Chains A and B, each alone.
Chain A
Amino acid sequence: KSTLVVAEHNNEALNPITLNTISAAKKIGGDVTVLVAGTKCGPASEALSKVEGVTKVLVAENAAFNGFTAEALTPLVLAAQSQFKFTHILAGAPDSALSQRVPGGPTEFRQSGDHRVKSETPLAHIYAECIYLNPDAWPEPRVIVSGGRGLKSGDNFKLLYDLADKFGAAVGASRAAVDAGFVANDLQIGQTGKIVAPELYIAVGISGAIQHLAGMKDSKTIVAINKDPEAPIFQVADIGIVADLFKAVPELTGKL
């Protein structure tokens, strides 16, 4: 067996999803080759050479890869495949959507959007969205403080940033908060936003729509602060507190 992992990076640093993808490749077994393409591949290839289990790093530096478009990267992956005949090709689910474009290309690939490596089928596979793999190894924030429509305004998110500072936490938001214009869409956690699984997830003023729960229910410990005792978030919370967030959050921040 031999697996090609397509690295994701921004010419400055390696995207952590690549490490998850390498973990998946190691589970398949055999050699793990990583392909780094970009306009400046030094930092990413250097980081990769230190990753345990990587057999070989292929580097393709070219102005054509500026912007990392799937249109430019797909032929490169296909060329690597025709030269090295990998049994599996893995990529994350990056913005460039490469992992989806390659299987539709001129070479016939089998493709899977499966979130876990369960079986080994002897043909090239691409596993999209490897982020579910090996959550213990996540270089992601240990704690996430997330706000919903209950925050009432973007300014009020300051309460969450203050609380997050106490934990060294990242701040997230529900779709309702994003749609209401409180915060930018890149903070969105949920089915159509980011999927996260931190040690501690503090949901503040979030009712717990099923689409939001889909994005955070794998968190180890969930804390919910909401004034509505009927809010569905309490059905998944390990620790719930029915309280006015505008009082409870500053009090909590003060006591930490």
Chain B
Amino acid sequence: MARVLVGVKRVIDYAVKVRVKPDKTGVVTQGVKHSMNPFDEIAVEEAVKLKEKKLAEEVIAVSVGPAQSQEVIRTALAMGADRGVHVEIPAAEYELLQPIHVSKILAKLALDEKADLVILGKQAIDDDANQTAQMTAAVLDWPQGTFCNKIEKTDAGLTITREIDGGLETIKTKTPAVLSADLRLNTPRYATLPNIMKAKKKPLKKVTAKDLGVDTSPRIEVISVEDPPVRQAGATVADVDALVAKLKEGGHI
């Protein structure tokens, strides 16, 4: 029976059109709808499934960020996680927080909580870094199973199918291990109203990075955040002949 630590990040909702701040220091987050990173929903679902299959005894949802991060921990609890840990980082400091810091925090918690598995989303849709799982594995010096498409428990550990360029790769790994969830690992459940109510009563512990002994001073500097160049829509052509003519004009055929 294993204990699973699952990471949940609060990000700008995937349906929101992101706007860059006029001073180019970042993107506008004030007054913008946020939700759980979609890949983290998949990670939570997988952890809860492991518990339902009696392969895990406890699922702990962790979020690193400002006070509002507790919202996504509650969502994870409503999906079936047993308890939450909120590592509070003040909003101003959070803007400069990097995957390496989050990795060190998660690694420390994994050891403190005696986790056998850490499951994270493969990337967060705000910065698309795709770094936290790998760095967490490195900090812990545990094996990593990234971009998981399928996770199967075996006597010796886990058999993992990974989504890679050009197809799928199957690896075997021992536990403890750090895994990252890809898109097709599962379909996350919706939190039902009764479960949302129940989640309010589940334990949620608050700690700081300092409590965990992790230095969160910035290690990289963001020079500028800019909108991608706007692409102008071209002409619509009436028929295939006109399309062929345009392709000839452009030297494509």
Q: What residues make up the interface of A, taking CB atoms closer than 8 Å to B?
A: 67, 69-71, 74, 93, 95, 97, 100-106, 110-113, 118-119, 128, 143, 167, 175, 179, 184-186, 191-192, 194, 199-200, 210, 217, 221-223, 229, 234-243, 248, 251-252, 255-256
Task: Check if B237 sits within 8 Å of A97, measured CB to CB.
Answer: no
Task: Check if A251 sits within 8 Å of B135, measured CB to CB.
Answer: no
Task: Check if B100 sits within 8 Å of A103, measured CB to CB.
Answer: yes
Task: Check if B243 sits within 8 Å of A239, measured CB to CB.
Answer: yes
Tell me the nearest residue of chain A to B147, going by C-beta: A95
CB neighbours of A103 from chain B (8 A): 100, 131, 135, 138
In residues 103-161 of chain B, which contact A (Cβ within 8 Å)? 103, 122-123, 125, 127-131, 133-139, 141, 143-144, 146-147
In the complex, what distance in Å separates the CA atom of A242 from the CA atom of B144? Answer: 47
CB of B247 within 8 Å of the partner chain = yes
Contact status of A256 and B165, CB under 8 A, knowing A217-B231, A237-B234: no
Q: Would you mind naming 15 contact pairs between A and B with Cβ atoms under 8 Å apart?
A: A70-B134, A70-B144, A97-B133, A97-B134, A103-B100, A113-B99, A113-B127, A128-B129, A167-B253, A184-B167, A222-B231, A223-B247, A240-B236, A241-B238, A252-B240
Tally of B interface residues using CB under 8 Å: 58
CB neighbours of A210 from chain B (8 A): 17
Kindly provide the distance from the CB of B39 to the nearest chain A CB, expressed in whole angstroms: 8
CB of B244 within 8 Å of the partner chain = yes
Kindly provide the distance from the CB of B212 to the nearest chain A CB, expressed in whole angstroms: 16
Kindly provide the distance from the CB of B228 to the nearest chain A CB, expressed in whole angstroms: 7
Tell me the nearest residue of chain B to A249, going by C-beta: B240
Task: Check if A240 sits within 8 Å of B235, measured CB to CB.
Answer: yes
0/1 string, B12-48, CB within 8 A of A gives 1: 0000010000000000000000000000000000000
CB of B205 within 8 Å of the partner chain = no
Task: Check if A111 sits within 8 Å of B166, measured CB to CB.
Answer: no
In the complex, what distance in Å separates the CA atom of A110 from the CA atom of B218? Answer: 10
Tell me the nearest residue of chain A to B242, going by C-beta: A241
Task: Check if A104 sits within 8 Å of B237, measured CB to CB.
Answer: no
With contacts defined as CB atoms under 8 Å apart, how many contacts are there between chain A and chain B in the complex? Answer: 141
CB neighbours of B223 from chain A (8 A): 118-119
Task: Check if A239 sits within 8 Å of B253, measured CB to CB.
Answer: no
In the complex, what distance in Å separates the CA atom of A92 from the CA atom of B238? Answer: 43
Told that A111-B98, A255-B240 touch, could you supply 15 new A-B pairs with CB distance under 8 A?
A70-B144, A71-B143, A104-B135, A111-B99, A118-B223, A186-B167, A191-B128, A221-B250, A223-B243, A223-B247, A239-B235, A239-B237, A240-B236, A241-B236, A241-B238
CB neighbours of A234 from chain B (8 A): 233, 236
CB neighbours of A199 from chain B (8 A): 252
Task: Check if B239 sits within 8 Å of A112, measured CB to CB.
Answer: no
Kindly provide the distance from the CB of A119 to the nearest chain B CB, expressed in whole angstroms: 7
0/1 string, B153-196, CB within 8 A of A gives 1: 00000000011111101010000000000111000000000000
Counting chain B CB atoms within 10 Å of each CB, which of A95, A143, A179, A235 scores highest?
A95
0/1 string, B179-222, CB within 8 A of A gives 1: 00011100000000000000000000000000000000001100
In the complex, what distance in Å separates the CA atom of A197 from the CA atom of B165? Answer: 17
Task: Check if B144 sits within 8 Å of A237, measured CB to CB.
Answer: no
